[in-house]
Structure 1
Amino acid sequence: MTTTAFDDHERLQWAGRATAYQDSLAALCAHPAGLLLDAAGVKAGTRLLDVGTGTGTVAALACSRAAQVTAIDAEPSMLMLARRQAPAADVCHAILPDLPFSDDFFDAAVANFVINHVGDPAATLVELQRVVRPGGRVAVTIWPYPPPPAQQLWAQIFDAADVGRPIALPRLTRDKDFSRTRDGLSELLHRTGLDNVGCDTITWIHRTDPEAWWNGPANGIGATGTLMQRQDSSTTERIRDQYEQHITAYRGPDGDLALPTAALLASASVT
């Protein structure tokens, strides 16, 4: 198994947190699912691999298109929810970048906000190409940098609450990292051997309950959650106070939040 310190951190960060993710940030990550499947050319009969399926949102949508779906994830609690959400899919445990499938087995592969959670993004893309037949499609989404307003909001809250940023969090090594821009993601796909690469920016307004937006980090979801859970109770109270102040500008008449956000969607052909 090929893993890095970053991979080990990610496994620990997501362990047992499927329900917390489903109740908080899953709806945010679900938004590009249809466009992702379109970019991969998924239709009736397509043999699709959905890597990092999470709670199974993309897999379920692909099944509704009558695709033949295999969905994998490294986190057992995610697999439990994915099997419920996508009962028609073959849902199994696997850890990127090592996939238990033969060469050219699938017509397409998709990774919805997954490349940003692996220690070697290039190796992951090479492995996706291995299991997809020549002429098949690979499509991925990632969060861009600089972050969109929805994600910037948390940095603003932490700054206002005077929360220090630890330097000990595992990061990708320089030789494995890439620019989280349209050009950077496109270049990553190109240099791993993919052809006919295209990359677009998707923008939308994420509408959510304020407690759901709080509960993701409060339950340890993502890098923001890792930082949140390292704080003592008094600091957490300061963060909550700043949270209430900062979300005021995004509250609608119904009390829900309307958060502008964006993602990068890249797709390409396997040679």
Structure 2
Amino acid sequence: MQSTHPDDPWSSVADDWGRYWGDFARPVWEPLLRTATIGSGTRVLDVGCGTGELLEHLQEHDARPSGVDPASRMIELARARAVGADVRAGEFERLPFDDGAFDALLAVNAFQFAADQDRALAEAGRVLVPGGTLGLAGWAERARNDLDAINSALAAADDEEPPEDGPLRVEGGLAEVLRGAGWELLDGGVVSVPWTARHDTDLVHGILFGERESTIADLAPVVVAAAAPYRRPDGTYRLVNAFRWVVARRPG
């Protein structure tokens, strides 16, 4: 897909992101909310809120969620989904909220995009009340993800090596960063996160969203072939993946 937002690339893929991936990380929400003691009346900031699925989930649990995202179209969709939530434009390193505005902060599949992780954690501490909780979650190492079979096949088709696991994806990675910044670790773990596609078309467009139509046509056979082991008799696909998560208490 040709980007129509050169300075805001995620906006041009926001609708497809919401369609194929919006609630993908849902299995990791429960341990985050439980460990961070998020419930009725809890003021929660969702950093990198995307199209608003977690915001809506928090509203269903009678929490008081706010969101922040750098992409204008993501913000638009999040506000439409989680009506009444305070959703603002911003980045992890510069959160557009007052000091001590929240009891908890969540960042699901978002912390790894922070250009300055130390600054992002400092901002998280700033907007949290004393004793506030921070929950982070993101992809586990490639070996735990069925989607890696497709990513590896696409890399091979481009004569490239698959990307290596980043430090946040491996065991202890998230905890090490938080501990080094002075946060008190409460708990963490690994959660199974399946991704499903209804048929070949959804599979291909879910994997290749954001690409030009010509590129999608060229790479579709690569995606379908790599996903063949995960195709079920009814023609749907189910690929099991994993997210690591950790919850910590604000330092000081």
* TM-score normalised by length of structure 1: 0.81
| 2:159 aligned residue | 164
Give 1:180-199 correspondences, 5 Å limit. Answer: 180-199=169-188
- Secondary structure (helix, strand or coil) at the match of 2:95 reads coil
Residues 236 and 62 of structure 1, relative CA distance in 2, 3 Å threshold: closer
| 1:48-87 to 2 correspondences below 5 Å | 48-87=44-83
Instruction: Give SS of 1:24's match.
Output: helix
| Amino acid corresponding to residue 48 of structure 2 in structure 1 | G
Structure 1 residue 108 and structure 2 residue 104: aligned?
Answer: yes
SS where residue 182 of structure 1 aligns?
A: coil
Q: How far apart, CA to CA, are the structure 1 residues paired with 2:185 and 2:11? A: 36
Name the CA shift for 1:197/1:53 in 2 (closer, same or farther; >3 Å).
same
Counterpart in the other structure of 1:132: 128
Distance 1:35 1:240 in 2: 36
From 204, 209, 212, the equivalent of 1:219 is 209
Shift of 1:84: 1.4
- TM-superposed CA distance for 1:215, in Å, is 1.2
SS of the equivalent of 1:202 reads: strand
Q: Following TM superposition, by how much is the alpha carbon of 1:179 offset from its aligned partner in structure 2, in angstroms?
A: 4.0
Instruction: Name the residue aligned to 2:219.
Output: 239
Counterpart Cα distance in 2 of 1:122 and 1:213: 36
Q: Is the 8 A contact 1:178 1:188 kept in 2?
A: no
Shift of 1:197: 4.0
Matched, 1:255 2:244: no
> Is the CA contact (8 Å cut-off) linking 1:189 and 1:197 kept in structure 2?
no
Q: CA deviation at 1:255?
A: 1.2
How far the C-alpha of 1:85 sits from its partner, in A, is 1.1
Contact 2:58 2:65 in 1 (8 A): yes
TM-score (normalised: structure 2): 0.86
Partner residue, 1:264: 244
* Aligned residues of 1:34 and 1:61 also touching (Cα < 8 A): no
Secondary structure of the 2:142 match is: coil
Q: Deviations over 1:48-94 (max 9, x none)?
A: 11111001111111111111111111111001111111113111212
Q: Give the corresponding residue for 1:6.
A: none
CA RMSD of aligned residues (A): 2.6
SS in 2 for 1:142: strand
Contact 1:144 1:180 in 2 (8 A): yes
Greater alpha carbon shift after TM alignment, 23-32 vs 88-97: 23-32
Q: Structure 1 236/90 Cα, relative in aligned 2: closer, same or farther at 3 Å?
A: closer
Deviations 1:104-161 (A, max 9, x none): 221100001101222122321221111111111100111122353333122232255x
> C-alpha deviations, 1:227-257, integer Å up to 9, x for none?
x55xx94x75452212222222111122111
Q: Give the structure 2 partner of residue 205 of structure 1.
A: 194
Cα distance in structure 2, aligned partners of 1:50 and 1:237 = 36
Q: Give structure 1 stretches of 5+ with no counterpart.
A: 1-9, 170-176, 221-227
CA contact (8 A) 1:186 1:198 kept: no
* CA distance in 2: counterparts of 1:204 and 1:90, whole angstroms: 28
Count of residue pairs the alignment pairs up: 244
- Seen in structure 2, the aligned counterparts of structure 1 residues 216 and 258 have a Cα distance that, compared at 3 Å, is closer
In the superposition, relative to structure 1, how do residues 39 and 140 fare at CA in structure 2: closer, same or farther (>3 Å)? same
| Alpha-carbon shift at residue 36 of structure 1 (Å) | 2.4
